Structures are given as structure tokens and as C-alpha cells.
Chain A
Amino acid sequence: MNSIGYAVAEALVSLRRSGRSAAISIGTIAIAFLTLGGFLLVSANLQSLVERWASSAELSVYLREDVNDTWRQALVDELSDHAAVAAVEYVSKAAALERFRGDFPELADVAASADNPFPPSIEVRLHTDAASSGAADAMAAGLTEREGVVDVRYDREWLSRLRAIIGAIRLVGATAAAVLILGAAFTVAAVVRLSLQARREEVDIMQLVGAPFSFIRGPSIAEGTILGGLGALFSLIVLWALFASTREQLTAAVAQWGNVETLRFLAVPDALLLVGSGLAVGGLAGLVASRGSR
């Protein structure tokens, strides 16, 4: 505790002394972590959107008009018992026409003037994990081959593609952030090294009085940790401010693509991880910078 207290006190004195270079160092760390946090925020919200879309996944089975009630009921029962299925609803020709009229009242005349063009169908609502596990694809393929089935609509490939895009965004974000964080770590190391040079005489004297490792290198590690932590914290504050100021516009924009109530900021564990990473990167930079000073 004695050496930790000493290290922190010396680090604070050193930071006050370094002034502008410490501010620059905090700024570079903040930019790096803002990039990482930004990508995390985008990918987390996209992921949430995709999960919401996936949870509402439906499969429509269009039937021939001449299928009898027994055959149809047998298919409904079979689908209801399937593990991937959450709910099943039969939609007759008349019900389909009624639904069309309700959804498109401006086209009511068109619907009234012709024979009912809508085929009977079975609408199948799937469990959330059915789409990702491939069970829904297998079911759709199997139904297509049934004799009384005209068509099966299950176009969820785009969900898989979107998931792949989210994965790619995460990868690009992580790579960009890693490069920026490495650069920021070098800046922190340079600032700590400069501070170390400023107290070179003091370090030499500490060595002569037999000060242990924790006293000699501790202040440098503490200085790096404080710089990294402040940078990451600052990035989190800026990210939150940006998010809060654009939240409504972003939510409105994303709402066009689906049922989006509101966009969310980073979860607490993610925010803590961000600040923790800043502390760790800074501490490591301080440790590396103080090498050779023992």
C-alpha cells in the first residue's frame, strides 16, 4: 500500500508537470477508444435489430386450391408439433382476401372486380433460434416437395448475410481500434518516458538508497494507467454525448427498416470493459516505458 500510494502521488505530480503532453496523450487514447466504442455501439444495435427480425421470422406455405380439409389439417398438426415452430395459422382464400382489403383499402375495387386470386395458405411463426440453427431452412425445403403445396416463402438469407456483415463490421472495427490503440500506447509510453527523464536524478538516487522495483517503476506504471484510464473515460463521455444528441434522428432512420423502439447505448459491462482496457493499455505502456530504469 505504501508503494502504491507513493506511485500514485508521484504520477499525479508528474502529470501536472507534463501538462500539454499529458493532454495530447489522453486525446490520442480517447480517439482510439472512441473508434472502438463507436464500432461496438453500431454492431450491438445492429445485432439487436437482427435478433428482433429473426424473432419475427415467418414461413408461408401456399396450398393448392383443391386440397381437402383432412390433408390440410394433417399438415397443420404436423407443423404445430415441429420443434422449430412457435405457432401455426391457416389462412383460407376468403380470409386472405379480407386481409388484403384491410391492408390495402385503396385497392378494394381491384379486389372486388376479380375472382379471389389469393390461394389458401398456412402461416408458420418460428422460434427465435430456428433461423440461425438452419431448422427453418430444412423445414422449408421439405415442405416444397409436398404434393398439395404450391410454394413456400422463406426468404431469410438476407438475415444470415446481415449477420455476416455485422461480423465484418466488428472485425474491421476491432482491427482499426487495435491499430489506433497501439499508436496511442506509443504516445503514452513517450509521455511516460519524458516524465521519467525529468525525474532521472530522482530515480538514480532511489536506486542508490535501494528502493525496490515498485518504488522505481511504480510511478511510471501509475502514470500510464491514469493516462489510459482518463483517455478511455473521456472517449466514453464523448461517445455518450454524440449518441444522446443524435439518438432520435438515428432511431427514426433505422425504424424504416423494421420495428425499432429505440437505439441503446453500450451496456454497462461493455462500458466498463472499455475503461478497463484503457487502464490496462496505459499501464502496459508505462511498464514498457520504464524498462531499463530499474
Chain B
Amino acid sequence: MIETHGLGKAYGRGLYALRDLTLTVERGEFVFLTGPSGAGKSTLLRLLLLQERPTEGVAIVNGRNLVRMSHREVQAYRRSVGFVFQDFKLVPSKTVFENVSFALRVLGTNIEQQRRRTYQVLKWVGLQHRLQAYPLELSGGEQQRVAIARALVNEPQLVLADEPTGNLDPDLSLEIMNLFRDINSSGTTVLVATHDRELIKWVGRRTVHLENGRLLEAEAGATT
């Protein structure tokens, strides 16, 4: 699903956020990216979402070379990837329903399907009773569930999450991680960046350690 070879991102002369990263994530895998702040976890996710372009190496996702994509191809690629961020990235002026259905609207899905699918996915994350609420009226955990619903609504093959539990208390974090496990169990590849070792231990999946922009080690975790 994801293959990187010698992937690197440098800012200025010799200042690397990510260096010589060679990594493979199989289709349907659940992988944690971990490491201290500044290790390069977010940079890797930003490169995989093409928010930034790598300065070195190759990144191939689902057979597509990310290095050589045109702007139009980038937008088409992003429609096949779900993303979840620590700060939720919801549009405050839109309702919960609109935030989620928008991802379908840009795909040209008809209104009836948009409604049905949005309702299904919001029900799945347990927010079917907050459809008309605005993001600022929700708790942190609820906002993150909306973000997860938006990431899933167009049934992506890959979900990227950058510190999705960073703003949540431990109980909510477990709840969110359970959602990611459920997503993965339906065959979707999930890549989660977190520095929460307890959470990683609890979920128990393959973990990739980064430090100073380099891959330290990869370990297989037990499946719970």
C-alpha cells in the first residue's frame, strides 16, 4: 500500500525533518508511527498527504508515485485518502452533517447518496443525534469523531492520522483508537502517528520508531 525508498525532506541547508526513510506498509495493515516530538512523524504524514513534497527519494502509495504528481492528480489522490488530525480541522461555519457530506459533494455524489452515506457514517461514530450541531458546540472527543467520519465517508483505502488523540483524555483516546481498529478490520490501511506508548501497547499493532528524522526500528505488535 505504502512504499518509501530513501525518502527525505530537508528545509534549508542540511536541516532534515526526515532522512533516508525506507518503509513498506502492506494493504490492510495497521501501523503506528512513534517517536519524540520532532522525530519526523508528522512530516512523513504530510508527505504522504502531499501537503509537502519530498526533497529526496520515492514514495509510492497504492501504485501511484507521489513525487511526480501534478496539482490535479494530487487533488484526485487526496480523494482516495482519509485524514485525521490532532486539531480536527473541521469548518466551524458548517454543521456536523455538512462537514462530513462535503467530502462526498466534491466527488460529485448525488444528494440522496450524500445524505444516506453521511448519516450512516455519523451513526457509526455515534453522532447521529448531533447532525445539525456546529463543531464548536461539540466536545473534543465528538469533534474528533466527526473528523473520523469525514475521513471515512468516501470509503478510502488508506487513512492517515496525526496524533488523533493528542487533545483527548485517556478514556476518549481509547474510544477513538477502537474506531481506528474497526476501520482497519474492514480492510482499510491505517497509519497513526502518536507518541502515546500506553495507547500503542493497548492496541498492540506494528510500530515504526522514528528519531531525528530517521527510522530507528520497526517492531511487530500483538493484535488484541
In the bound complex, what is the Cα–Cα distance between A206 and B75 (angstroms)?
A: 10
In the bound complex, what is the Cα–Cα distance between A162 and B74 (angstroms)?
A: 61
Question: Which residues of chain A come closer than 8 Å to B77, judged between CB atoms?
Answer: 210
Interface centre among A199, A201, A205, A294 (most CB of B within 10 A): A205
Known: A201-B91, A202-B93. A210 touches B76 (CB 8 A): yes
Question: Which residues of chain B come closer than 8 Å to A201, judged between CB atoms?
Answer: 89, 91-92
Q: Is there a chain B Cβ closer than 8 Å to A114's Cβ?
A: no
CB-defined interface of B75-90 with A at 8 Å, one 1/0 digit per residue? 1111111010000011
Q: Is there a chain A Cβ closer than 8 Å to B12's Cβ?
A: no
Minimal beta-carbon separation of A151 from chain B (angstroms): 78
Do B89 and A210 have beta carbons less than 8 Å apart?
A: no
Interface centre among B77, B81, B94, B106 (most CB of A within 10 A): B106
Q: Is there a chain B Cβ closer than 8 Å to A112's Cβ?
A: no
Question: Which residues of chain A come closer than 8 Å to B102, judged between CB atoms?
Answer: 206, 209, 211
In the bound complex, what is the Cα–Cα distance between A208 and B78 (angstroms)?
A: 7
Question: Which residues of chain B come closer than 8 Å to A294, judged between CB atoms?
Answer: 71
Do A2 and B89 have beta carbons less than 8 Å apart?
A: no
In the bound complex, what is the Cα–Cα distance between A201 and B94 (angstroms)?
A: 12
Which chain B residue has the least Cβ–Cβ distance from A202? B91
In the bound complex, what is the Cα–Cα distance between A46 and B103 (angstroms)?
A: 58
Question: Which residues of chain A come closer than 8 Å to B80, judged between CB atoms?
Answer: 210
Known: A201-B91, A208-B89. A2 touches B108 (CB 8 A): yes
Minimal beta-carbon separation of B99 from chain A (angstroms): 9
Question: Which residues of chain A come closer than 8 Å to B78, judged between CB atoms?
Answer: 207-210
Question: Which residues of chain A come closer than 8 Å to B75, judged between CB atoms?
Answer: 207, 210-213
Size of interface on B: residues with Cβ below 8 Å to A: 25
Known: A2-B108, A294-B71. A209 touches B103 (CB 8 A): yes
In the bound complex, what is the Cα–Cα distance between A199 and B92 (angstroms)?
A: 10
In the bound complex, what is the Cα–Cα distance between A208 and B106 (angstroms)?
A: 11
Q: Is there a chain B Cβ closer than 8 Å to A215's Cβ?
A: yes
In the bound complex, what is the Cα–Cα distance between A294 and B71 (angstroms)?
A: 8
Minimal beta-carbon separation of A216 from chain B (angstroms): 9
Give the total number of A-B pairs whose CB atoms are below 8 A apart: 50
Which chain A residue has the least Cβ–Cβ distance from B51? A208
Q: Size class of A's contact patch? A: 10 to 19
In the bound complex, what is the Cα–Cα distance between A208 and B83 (angstroms)?
A: 8
Minimal beta-carbon separation of A3 from chain B (angstroms): 8
Do A210 and B79 have beta carbons less than 8 Å apart?
A: yes
Q: Is there a chain A Cβ closer than 8 Å to B9's Cβ?
A: no
Q: Is there a chain B Cβ closer than 8 Å to A6's Cβ?
A: yes
Question: Which residues of chain B come closer than 8 Å to A202, judged between CB atoms?
Answer: 91, 93-94
Q: Is there a chain A Cβ closer than 8 Å to B150's Cβ?
A: yes
25 A-B pairs with C-beta separation under 8 A: A2-B105, A2-B108, A201-B89, A201-B91, A202-B93, A202-B94, A205-B90, A205-B91, A206-B102, A207-B75, A208-B51, A208-B78, A208-B89, A209-B103, A210-B74, A210-B75, A210-B76, A210-B77, A210-B79, A210-B81, A210-B106, A211-B106, A212-B72, A212-B106, A294-B71
A interface list, Cβ under 8 A from B: 2, 6, 13, 199, 201-202, 204-213, 215, 294
The 8 A-B residue pairs whose C-beta atoms are closest, nearest first, are A210-B78, A210-B79, A211-B106, A210-B75, A209-B103, A202-B91, A215-B106, A205-B89
B interface list, Cβ under 8 A from A: 49, 51, 71-72, 74-81, 83, 89-94, 102-103, 105-106, 108, 150
* Known interface pairs A201-B89, A205-B91, A207-B78; 19 further A-B residue pairs with C-beta atoms within 8 A, sorted by A's residue number: A6-B105, A201-B91, A201-B92, A202-B91, A206-B102, A206-B106, A207-B75, A208-B51, A208-B83, A208-B89, A209-B106, A210-B76, A210-B79, A210-B106, A211-B75, A211-B102, A212-B106, A215-B106, A294-B71
